[in-house]
A = this chain, B = another copy of it.
Amino acid sequence: MDYRKEFIVAPGQKLRLADVDPAYKGPHESHETAAPELERYSQKLGQMQTLLYAGRKHSILVVLQALDAGGKDGTVNHVFAAFNAQGASVTGFKEPTPLELSHDFLWRVHPHAPPKGWISIFNRSHYEDVLITRVHRLIDKATWTERYNRIRDFETELHESGTTILKFFLHISKEEQLARFEKRLDDPARNWKISESDYSERELWGDYVLAFEDALTATSTHHAPWYVIPSNHKWFRNLAVSQIVADTMEDLKMSFPKPTVDLADIRRKYHAAVLEEKKAGKG
Contacts and interface: CB of A to CB of B under 8 A. Distances in A.
Nearest to A123: B86
A80 B90 contact: no
Contact of A90 (B81, B85, B194, B267): B85
Contact of A192 (B181, B195, B256, B274): B256
Contact of A256 (B81, B191, B263): B191
A4 to B, nearest CB: 24
Q: How many copies does the complex hold?
A: 2
A271 interface: yes
Main secondary structure, interface of A, reads helix
Contacts of A257: 192
Contacts of A85: 76-77, 80, 85, 88-90
B76 A260 contact: no
A162 to B, nearest CB: 19
Interface in A245-273: 256-261, 263, 266-267, 269-271
A12 interface: no
Interface of A: 50, 54, 73, 76-77, 80-81, 84-86, 88-90, 92, 123, 175, 178, 181-182, 185, 188-189, 191-196, 199, 202, 256-261, 263, 266-267, 269-271, 274, 278
